Amino acid sequence: MSKGPIRLAVIGCGNIAQHAHLPAIQRVEEVRLVAVADPYEEVSRQVAGLNGLKEADACTDAAPILARDDVDAVALCAPTALHAELTIAALRAGKHVLVEKPMAETSQDARAMAEAAAETGRTLMIAYNHSYDVAATHVGAMVDAGELGDIAFAEVFFYEDRGCWSAGALTSTIRAKDQKSFWPRREEPTLRVRDYIHNFDSHVLNLMRLLLGEPKGIEYCRWTDGAGLWAMFDYGPFCTGFKNVRLGQHRFEKGIEICGKRKRVRLELAPPLERYTPGRVEIHDIEARQTSTPCLPWRWPFEMEYRHFAACLLEGREPKTSGRQALRDVELAEELAHMALQAGQGDQA
């Protein structure tokens, strides 16, 4: 594409669409919402009306949207199980695609999505809003510039606060009377752990890879039911610890800490109750013996995500979190789940 605005349709009008994607689209002048789709007719109609669309622009199926000539791109906020099918259909219909994380349930599906993007020449971007956080960008610039010195150790962390998911911040404002949960219930333990990693750890897995590069392998991983996931990644000269703690504590902590020989930097991401506002950076200068917190410009990560998507379409460049890049997150989730249950010697998921 060489001209804007990008005419975009949103497929799936649940929690994340209502609270993040649709408001973000309204803040980006290079993007114009032209249609929405949701299997619940009352939801699609109400969401369309609240976002300035006509009733004719509200659908209960993706097919009419993909057939429209006035749709350049789609944002897929549908359940993960539908990501591959809808993404490939949209790409083959000539649409660019922004799809919510996790990219897909399986690496086979994710690979098919990336291949479809390459074959059609259309853009596929995965919606990792934290990866577009100004705080994450700041940390990335520090690492790239060598400000930290040689990295000695890093740690990715996620301490869940159960209340942050149930206090209403991510509950759909508009819901159908008979609306059902889309969360699948797995019988097989490995699939349950894999889905858990997809849903709760894919953000920080992607952020780890963007900031530190690709790990050489996984040295250790273990899952303990009711407690969480622990892993260690091999980065050659240093290791990166990875922990997801789910013990019901009342403080949400999510991010990454990177310890260099000159500086140590800690990135803390905002919780869902704050609708994923910008993160916070704390820098410990080991040589100067000083601690500082930079005052970064306020930019909503979801807005920055859409600005990046629009720029990539208009300038013809590959997104930072393209399908090709994000495929490895799905593969890592599968590898971690398999190794975790083996190390746990039968711990239940």
Q: Which domain holds residue 249?
A: 131-300+331-344
How many contiguous H segments (helices) and E segments (strands) does the chain have? Answer: 11, 14
Let me know if residue 1 belongs to a domain. Answer: no
Residue 61: φ, ψ to 5°: -145, 150
- At residue 307, the 3 state secondary structure works out as helix
What percent of the chain clears pLDDT 90, i.e. is strictly above it?
A: 79
User: What local confidence, expressed as pLDDT, does residue 249 receive?
Assistant: 65
pLDDT digits (tens, 9 = 90+) for 37-50: 999 999 999 999 99
Residue 333: φ, ψ to 5°: -60, -40
Q: Residue 136 in contact with residue 223, Cβ under 8 Å?
A: no
CATH number of the structural domain spanning residue 316: 3.40.50.720
Q: Is the pLDDT of residue 275 over 90?
A: no
Same domain, 296 and 307: no
Same domain, 34 and 153: no
Torsional sign, CA 338, 340, 344, 347 = negative
Let me know if residue 119 belongs to a domain. Answer: yes
- Order of strands across the sheet that contains 228-234: 217-224, 228-234, 239-245, 151-159, 253-260, 263-268, 280-285, 290-292
- What's the Cα-to-Cα distance from 232 to each of 197, 258, 325, rounded to whole Å? 15, 14, 21
Q: Residue 308 in contact with residue 319, Cβ under 8 Å?
A: yes
pLDDT digits (tens, 9 = 90+) for 93-132: 999 999 999 999 999 999 999 999 999 999 999 999 999 9
CA dist., res. 205 & res. 329, Å (int): 6
pLDDT digits (tens, 9 = 90+) for 287-316: 999 999 999 999 999 999 999 999 999 999
Same domain, 18 and 36: yes
Same domain, 136 and 275: yes
Q: Is the pLDDT of residue 278 over 70?
A: yes
Number of domains in the chain: 2
Same domain, 287 and 168: yes
CATH number of the structural domain spanning residue 193: 3.30.360.10
Let me know if residue 349 belongs to a domain. Answer: no
